[in-house]
Amino acid sequence: MRVLGFVVLSLLLANMAVASTAVVEFSDESLRIRYQQLVQELRCPKCQNQNLADSNSPISEDLRAQVQRLLEEGMSDREIKDYLKNRYSEFILYRPEVNQNTWLLWAAPVLFLLVGLWVLFRLYFNRASTDTPLEQMDELSAVDQQRLDQLLRNKDKQ
């Protein structure tokens, strides 16, 4: 019970921490949802491994303010991403677009799955083909029969 209380308390505190960093005013609440989504998906150009939402660097603050401004101006998410991409290059998109450079990245999971399936099937059917059913074991191929005959003949001679 005590543990549960601790968990609930820490969750409440975590919530407060998030709320205190994101004080952004919007004319329309629907913009806030899009804003949160965008700053999660856009990358801080200076700090490399953080998104705009997490980063406290001055450039991230500026870009968050810019995203907010562009949202208020009525730009679509697509247009805002293009706006930043045209200035900061594709690097700024944490969700890269599918193009000549990135198609392999996007296709990789499917490719790995297909290769995996192929290997599995190969293993399965190879085993099936080497494990000859018992009833067929009596039948020797012509060559084997010949070798057997030879061996038996040699044995008789001895």
Partner 1 sequence: MNRVALFIPLALFAALSIVLLLGLDKDPQELPSALVGEPFPEFFLPRLEGDQEIVSREDFRGQVLLVNVWATWCFACRIEHPMLNSLAEQGVVIVGLNYKDQRAEAKLWLYERGNPYQFNIFDAEGSLGIDLGVYGAPETYLVDGDGIIRYRRVGVVDDRIWNAELKALYEELTGALE
Subset of 7-46 contacting partner 1 (CB under 8 A): 45-46
DSSP bridge pairs for 156: none
- Give the three-state DSSP class for 93: strand
Subset of 106-145 contacting partner 1 (CB under 8 A): none
Tokens of 87: 């200035």
CB of residue 70 to partner 1, shortest distance in Å: 11
- For 42, list phi and psi in degrees, rounded to 5: -100, 145
DSSP bridge pairs for 43: 51
If binding is defined by CB under 8 A, does position 75 make contact with partner 1?
no
If binding is defined by CB under 8 A, does position 97 make contact with partner 1?
no
If binding is defined by CB under 8 A, does position 86 make contact with partner 1?
yes
The total of other beta-carbon atoms located within 10 Å of residue 43's CB is: 22
Query: What is d(CA 54, CA 44) in angstroms, rounded to the nearest whole number?
Result: 9
For helices 58-72 and 77-88, the axis angle rounded to 10 degrees is 140
CB of residue 86 to partner 1, shortest distance in Å: 6
Which is nearer to partner 1, 26 or 88 (by Cβ)? 88
If you search the block for the tokens 């001679």, which residue do you land on? 157
Considering only the stretches 4-12, 57-65, 107-115, 147-155, report the one whose residues sit in contact with partner 1 under the rule CB under 8 A: 57-65
Which is nearer to partner 1, 46 or 147 (by Cβ)? 46
Residues near partner 1 (CB under 8 A) are 45-46, 48, 58-59, 62-63, 66, 85-91
